[in-house]
Structure 1
Amino acid sequence: MITRAHADSHTDTCSYAGIVRAKSRRTVSAAKSYSLSTMAPQDLQSAGSVKQQIAKLFEESLRTTVPDEGDVEPAIAPCQNPKFGDYQCNNAMGLWSRVKGKGTQFKGPQLVGQAIMNNLPPSEMIESCTIAGPGFVNIILSKHWIAKSIQKMLVHTIETWASEIPVKRAVVDFSSPNIAKEMHVGNLRSTIIGDTLARMLEFSKVEVLRRNHVGDWGTQFGMLIEYLFEKFPSGEVSGDQAIGDLQAFYKASKQRFDSDPAFKERAQRAVVSLQGGEEKYRKAWAEICEISRRGYESVYQRLGVQLEEKGESFYNPYIPRVVELLNEKGLIEESEGARVIFIKGKKIPLIVVKKDGGYNYASTDLAALWYRLYEEKAEWIIYVTDVGQREHFEMVFTAAKQAGWLPAEDNKYPKASHVGFGLVLGEDGKRFRTRSTETVKLVDLLDEAKNRCREALVQRGKSEEWTAEELDKTAEAVGYGAVKYADLKNNRSTNYTFSFDQMLNDKGNTAVYLLYAHARICSIIRRSGKDIEELKKIGTMELDHPDERVLGLHLLQFLEIVEEACTNLLPNILCEYLYNLSEDFTRFYTNCQVVGSAEETSRLLLCEATAIVMRKCFYLLGITPVYKI
């Protein structure tokens, strides 16, 4: 069983110190091994995650046990100690507190739990149940049902079995680089966390609008445009070679802005001209944006990330109407010459219109939120930025609630969520930078990871075995995957230390270890000489060895793990699952001979199921699998 530190406290009840085993042990069903050829078509349809299927059984039991208590949601959780069971139902104590004193037949929570267990409908899914402590119902799943369910997964794509969350359309706002600035390691966190969240939501059958809210509007464009006119008086720019390094161009313009009052005044007038729509300024602005866009699009291509750009400029036309709507609600007040919204519990108000009549980040974010709710009809808007912006988004969301755009309750839809992430630190414990104290360019970081992987593969003699193309693709897959996984495996809200040596280690909880583990599974299947697709059609799976059963159950828990990671917006939950899956497979392979054993067919199918689930995990994390190493 997997151990998750973030699980709710009630999942600890399997290790309850005063556990008392009930004398009775109820066997719900017994079954035999299953072959795919014996399955009826209706058996091959999605039934939801293991947890959801157990909940359906207990929902029926609860209706029978306490018919007068209305709809009682089954409280199902994995057992953290596998010796007590696979899952448990934790409803007894809560129900006892509701029914005692109402002339109930029950004399305590343990008897409530006993009744819940006895009223379970017959099911091939459950092998047996026991009562522990004050009424916890511990559940042991049938190994035959586990085997049958895995074979269903082999017949159909995993997507068929994906759990649905109660949202049809979501916006994920991520990456969001600033125009004229190189993408750096901070953009990396937003990009890969946002991409993984989008992938998990898409897997859960949510239509995801992947939005790149680039910083393509605002006061900095005055200095950029004015500096461009100094270098190119005609305003004609032939391409990025004419400007050169856009980052250097930005720094030079900022230096002029800070040191030359006349230039600063011209830059400020340029902003007014740009926002007023003057063609010359709009054309220069568009040129700068396009040069910058080509730069970050190449990074997205390398990372395998897809985004639709709707930057700050897109929402600018909507701001006056949104401000008017907020004013009609009586939310906007005058304060020191600015127009603001006062937020309860906050010392500083949310500035909606500045003293000079201009707009700011809050103006744009309120307009974007309104647009996403009312024009794009999104039910969940997710913002992936650093934790330093948490208070800003709290204020924006509160203003939206005060306006009636969002419900007051955080657990109702539509809703908006801020997904904050911590800093990337160097091994000195400070913000990750180059030796010259510059922010690390994302493209340089990716190149370094790929080159180091290539060197490692060459040292292992792969350059002699593989073509140049195979070597290049494998180095890229492992290098980029290592960078992504090293970030995603951490709880996103915390800082983490960036270390090439650690992330490229082929032992421990790294992408390199996991990718190599997947390649070894593929090698086992190839070495058998069997046609795995044919085995899926005619083979039979049995899980008689304890390590086979542990691996099989872990495979089936993939769906509920994705659901949990989606609900909590935590990619590290999926990373933890993937690493534990690899560990379970290693234990199985160590103790259970596959090729040449009497159980070869069954165990090859288990290998294939493990590889399929690993590949789906890799996909959700944006990592490209490797098939040989």
Structure 2
Amino acid sequence: MASVPSLASSVEQRVSDALASALPEAGAADPLLRRSDRADFQANGILALAKKAKANPRELAATVLEGLDKSGVIKEVEVSGPGFLNITVSDEAIIRTLAARAADDRLGVPLNGSAGTTVIDYAQPNVAKEMHVGHLRSAVIGAAMVEILEFTGEKVIRRHHIGDWGTQFGMLIQYLLEHPHELDHKGGDEEASGEEAMSNLNRLYKASRALFDSDEEFKTRARARVVDLQAGDPRTLELWQRFVDESKIYFYSVFNKLDMDIQDPDVVGESGYNDMLVETCKLLEESGVAVRSNGALCVFFDEYKGPDGNPTPLIVQKSDGGFGYAATDLSAIRNRVTDLAATSLIYVVDARQSLHFKMVFETARRAGWLNDGVKAVQLAFGTVLGKDGKPFKTREGETVRLVDLLDEAVERATAVVREKAEKVGLTEAEIVENGQYVGIGAVKYADLSTSAARDYKFDLDQMVSLNGDTSVYLQYAYARIRSIMRNAGDRKPVAHPELELAPAERALGLHLDGFGALIEEAAADYAPHKLAAYLYQLSSLYTTFYADCPVLKADTPEQVENRLFLCDLTARTLSKGMALLGIRTPEKL
């Protein structure tokens, strides 16, 4: 089905046409249409156009008003202030437009006509290391952006650039070679749980580190093993692969808790670009983009200087011949642009790495790997803070394990669900399931309702509250609607454009009409927090509607059907919007 024009776009087009007639020399002028408290919309563009044309703005506004096509959409218009147009649409236009949205599986959200291919790099844990609270934001923000972009028609390729290479593996592999059963599973050939896999890896890491620090001969053997790994020695690679596989068991168990789907082909770690590193360096050096400085291969930038005032270089290859992160990141760009035909690259990475990515992107541009047809963006995110406003730590000052945080969120949420369970008739299985949905939803929403670049406080008490800007509030609004629909019996949702709408119905309807434009904006700006804000406002407007406008006890059968129609479209919009954020909407709560 073709996308459904919103009321805003219909009004904007009509004002634009009237402006073109009143002031032909202005061409296709933007009326600067905005939602307004004084009417449904306000056109603010006349002032600037009048100034440019040396015309009286109120007189120009009156001429525009005279030529405005009001048929079928606009109920009334008034000139306000120095030349604003306050525009009120008809109740009939609201319901007709919403009915067209409701008839579309996509809720009238348009597909992006210029969609391309986006490679999004997110959720990047490290092999043989435990995931902590610092891994949360990349995973949650990245997964939401994947869903939002795919919904607008973009081809999205997921990449999980896991840390699976480096000198630390010499120590780990050598220890495993000398203690071959350290990663064996208790259940024999059966796959371990995520907890057992991480326990194995933690135990082996601590034991190998202790030996590395205390035994010079082991340290020598471990360093020689790094050379074997980098040279591609088959036995060494086989043991390295065991670490990767064991870590994946653990990673996937954590992502499963987060209700995120991570597929094996999407996991392409640092090792995936090893074969390209030498060529990347050669191409940079031969083109003059990178130069040798004290034996290291560096790229210099006039605009990035260190505390001493000297330029801060991007080190692509160290003086000992080893490769830095830059070599891997630049090789990944070459692969993603050339082999995957990406038109956009998004890196969901901590804001503290911003300088690194600025230098990497600029280097890739100088080398010609990024051009006008490809954009690269770091979707930088801030830090997760504790209630005290400091980086989130345990009482002992340790980094918080991600699984502990998620388990506690589910535990708290399950307690909240259990309090209401008897009233809504939940079984024990539904309490447990809803506790998962509410707990994980609470964690994701707290993250996604904050602009990615900002830090945010992790406060579970607030996150699982039924009041305020929380996912539980949104989930509860959805469940309330589903309860009304179940109680409606034979009465069905039917749009009745002929009915006069109450103020709360109008406000809800106009907000529902903005869903398509909002999704386009969230996708274009890589801003899932804008979708979260829209859904919170939708739930708030629905709460007012629910209080002011009886649904099943409305005055006439037609009014019951029309209000059921508004309920149903609100529920579908909430469900779709929450799904794009990676959050489930329980039918009962």
TM-score by length of 1: 0.84
The C-alpha deviation readout for 1:66-115, integer Å capped at 9, x for no partner, is 54455x46253423x421x3333343344345545xxxxxx244444445
Counterpart of 1:158 in 2: which secondary structure?
coil
1:87 aligns with 2:41: yes
Equivalent runs, 1:99-498 vs 2, <5 Å? 99-100=53-54, 107-121=55-69, 123-158=71-106, 160-164=108-112, 166-232=114-180, 244-307=199-262, 308-347=266-305, 348-407=312-371, 413-462=373-422, 465-498=425-458
Tell me: CA distance 1:363–1:445, structure 2 relative to 1, closer, same or farther (3 Å).
same
Tell me: CA distance 1:464–1:594, structure 2 relative to 1, closer, same or farther (3 Å).
closer
Counterpart of 2:315 in 1: which secondary structure?
strand
Distance 2:56 2:321 in 1: 67
Tell me: CA distance 1:175–1:619, structure 2 relative to 1, closer, same or farther (3 Å).
same
Equivalent runs, 1:569-588 vs 2, <5 Å? 569-588=526-545
Aligned pairs, how many? 570
Tell me: CA distance 1:523–1:258, structure 2 relative to 1, closer, same or farther (3 Å).
same
Q: CA deviation at 1:206?
A: 0.9
Residue 78 (structure 1) aligns with: 34
Whether contact under 8 Å (2:386, 2:459) holds in the other structure is yes
Deviates more, 1:315-324 or 1:50-59: 50-59
Q: CA deviation at 1:141?
A: 2.5
Counterpart of 1:209 in 2: which secondary structure?
strand
Paired residue for 1:550, among 507, 529, 532?
507
Counterpart of 1:46 in 2: which secondary structure?
coil
Q: CA deviation at 1:340?
A: 0.8
Tell me: CA distance 1:111–1:274, structure 2 relative to 1, closer, same or farther (3 Å).
farther
Deviates more, 1:239-248 or 1:508-517: 239-248
Q: CA deviation at 1:369?
A: 1.4
Distance 1:582 1:234 in 2: 52
Distance 2:375 2:250 in 1: 33
Partner amino acid, structure 1, of 2:228:
S
Q: CA deviation at 1:281?
A: 0.9
Partner amino acid, structure 2, of 1:358:
G
Tell me: CA distance 1:251–1:569, structure 2 relative to 1, closer, same or farther (3 Å).
farther
The C-alpha deviation readout for 1:105-133, integer Å capped at 9, x for no partner, is xx244444445544545553333333344
Partner amino acid, structure 1, of 2:90:
S
> Structure 1 stretches of 5 or more lacking a match?
1-43, 101-106
Tell me: CA distance 1:163–1:267, structure 2 relative to 1, closer, same or farther (3 Å).
same
Q: CA deviation at 1:450?
A: 1.6
Tell me: CA distance 1:427–1:416, structure 2 relative to 1, closer, same or farther (3 Å).
same
Partner amino acid, structure 2, of 1:448:
E
Partner amino acid, structure 2, of 1:368:
A
Distance 1:291 1:279 in 2: 18
Whether contact under 8 Å (1:162, 1:203) holds in the other structure is no
Q: CA deviation at 1:233?
A: 8.5
Q: CA deviation at 1:515?
A: 1.0
Distance 1:444 1:284 in 2: 29
Partner amino acid, structure 2, of 1:176:
Q
Whether contact under 8 Å (1:167, 1:380) holds in the other structure is no
Q: CA deviation at 1:294?
A: 1.0
Tell me: CA distance 1:323–1:521, structure 2 relative to 1, closer, same or farther (3 Å).
same
Counterpart of 1:245 in 2: which secondary structure?
helix
Deviates more, 1:169-178 or 1:430-439: 430-439
Tell me: CA distance 1:122–1:234, structure 2 relative to 1, closer, same or farther (3 Å).
closer
Residue 466 (structure 2) aligns with: 506
Counterpart of 1:78 in 2: which secondary structure?
strand
Residue 11 (structure 1) aligns with: none
Q: CA deviation at 1:148?
A: 0.8
Partner amino acid, structure 2, of 1:562:
I
Tell me: CA distance 1:289–1:51, structure 2 relative to 1, closer, same or farther (3 Å).
farther
Whether contact under 8 Å (2:132, 2:401) holds in the other structure is yes
Q: CA deviation at 1:57?
A: 3.7
Deviates more, 1:156-165 or 1:460-469: 460-469
Whether contact under 8 Å (1:222, 1:267) holds in the other structure is yes
Residue 565 (structure 1) aligns with: 522
Whether contact under 8 Å (2:31, 2:43) holds in the other structure is yes
> Structure 2 stretches of 5 or more lacking a match?
306-311
Distance 2:214 2:88 in 1: 73
Whether contact under 8 Å (1:235, 1:280) holds in the other structure is no
Tell me: CA distance 1:607–1:228, structure 2 relative to 1, closer, same or farther (3 Å).
same
Q: CA deviation at 1:144?
A: 1.3
Whether contact under 8 Å (2:212, 2:219) holds in the other structure is yes
Distance 2:259 2:248 in 1: 16
The C-alpha deviation readout for 1:286-316, integer Å capped at 9, x for no partner, is 1100000111112222323234211111122
Distance 1:258 1:135 in 2: 77
Q: CA deviation at 1:49?
A: 4.4
Counterpart of 2:380 in 1: which secondary structure?
strand
The C-alpha deviation readout for 1:209-238, integer Å capped at 9, x for no partner, is 111111111222222212222322999997
The C-alpha deviation readout for 1:541-593, integer Å capped at 9, x for no partner, is 74521110000001111121222222222222111111111111111111111
Distance 2:80 2:203 in 1: 67
Whether contact under 8 Å (2:182, 2:200) holds in the other structure is no
Q: CA deviation at 1:462?
A: 3.7
Q: CA deviation at 1:492?
A: 1.7
Distance 1:340 1:119 in 2: 64
Q: CA deviation at 1:484?
A: 0.9
Distance 2:545 2:483 in 1: 16
Paired residue for 1:527, among 487, 496, 504?
487
Whether contact under 8 Å (2:119, 2:346) holds in the other structure is yes
Distance 2:287 2:58 in 1: 54
1:616 aligns with 2:573: no
Distance 1:295 1:99 in 2: 66
Residue 308 (structure 2) aligns with: none
Whether contact under 8 Å (1:151, 1:541) holds in the other structure is no
Whether contact under 8 Å (2:101, 2:107) holds in the other structure is no
Distance 1:368 1:199 in 2: 23
Distance 2:17 2:345 in 1: 35
Q: CA deviation at 1:488?
A: 1.2
Q: CA deviation at 1:278?
A: 0.6
Q: CA deviation at 1:158?
A: 2.5
Distance 1:504 1:520 in 2: 17
Distance 2:399 2:376 in 1: 31
Distance 1:242 1:622 in 2: 26
TM-score by length of 2: 0.89
